[in-house]
Amino acid sequence: MTTTPVTNPAAESAQLRTFSFGGGWQSGAALVLAAQGEIDYRTFLMANVGNDSENPGTIEWVHEHAMPYAARHGLELHLLDRHKRDGSTETIRGRILGSNGSRQTIPVFLANGKPGSRVCTKEFKIDVTGAWLKAHGASPTNKATVGMGITLDEIGRANPAKAMPYEELDYPLLWLGLRRADCPGIVRGAGLPMPPKSSCDFCPIRKIHEWQAMQDAEPERFERACEIEDTINAHLAAKGKPPVFITPYGRPLRELFKYGRQLPLIDDDANACANGWCMT
């Protein structure tokens, strides 16, 4: 692994320092680097969108590998759920199915391929983590430093201006000059298996080859994603509105590969997650 240090402009005066843990490659590397004393983070927070909503491989890796590793090295790794006013846990999948599709939450695509609005990142990640931070003393006058798992090849996703009033965003992997391709060496070098790519199990930002692989290798999981799209569209049809789609191809997910494999769009990354909360 070759690293090129970059000057870190983040302030060092915040009393609370946490790392936003997504359960993917970058987060895994950050956990190892923290255990090795390479980055100054001892507390990792994972906003859990739901065991029925997150990539099941991510949930398994976090419980079987990341959490025991953190404990062995004196690190804290907290899984944070979203709670409703009655105290019950809410998941993204549970919200969509429980509302019969009226609360779509995720960034589905319109018939013309344009992405619709979404609240999943804000309500199931930013707000959940923010509640923990504020409960532990973060405020506009006592900002927490929140590390994000963005690497040098994704530098366009780093945007300190998107910080909430109670936090200051930090990019420790950027300051070390790390790229995503450096992460496997770091994770495996610590004796850990590589985690899968983290994301909601039905995330519309998933690329076409990933959907194809899911249908081929995990048809039941693929069908569960189709159920999300079906539920949203049943609600829209009852209101006389046109359908939406989990992919930008203008066809229902369950029919996408009916006549063979699809070629990716030329700009397959155009709708990628624009911040560091997802898929890290």
pLDDT of residue 3: 40
pTM equals: 0.88
CA 262/CA 249 separation, integer angstroms: 9
Residue-wise pLDDT tens digits, 70-85: 999 999 999 999 999 9
Residue 13 binned pLDDT confidence (cut-offs 50, 70, 90) = very low
Residue-wise pLDDT tens digits, 256-269: 988 777 666 655 55
Q: What domains can you pick out in the chain, each with its CATH number?
A: 17-198 (3.40.50.620)
Measured from the Cβ of residue 114, the count of other Cβ atoms closer than 10 Å reads: 9
Residue-wise pLDDT tens digits, 127-181: 999 999 999 999 999 999 999 999 999 999 999 999 999 999 999 999 999 999 9
Residue 241 has which token pair? 């509105």
Residue-wise pLDDT tens digits, 215-260: 999 999 999 999 999 999 999 999 999 999 999 999 999 999 887 7
User: Which residue stretches of 56-197 are H helix?
Assistant: 56-61, 67-72, 92-98, 120-121, 127-135, 172-175, 183-189
CA 134/CA 189 separation, integer angstroms: 35
Residue-wise pLDDT tens digits, 105-133: 999 999 888 888 889 999 999 999 999 99
CA 198/CA 119 separation, integer angstroms: 18
CA 264/CA 269 separation, integer angstroms: 10
Query: Would residue 239 be called left, alpha or beta, if left means φ above 0 and alpha means ψ between -120 and 50 degrees?
Result: alpha
Residue 236 has which token pair? 């829209």
Quick one: CA dihedral 148, 162, 50, 77, positive or negative?
Answer: positive
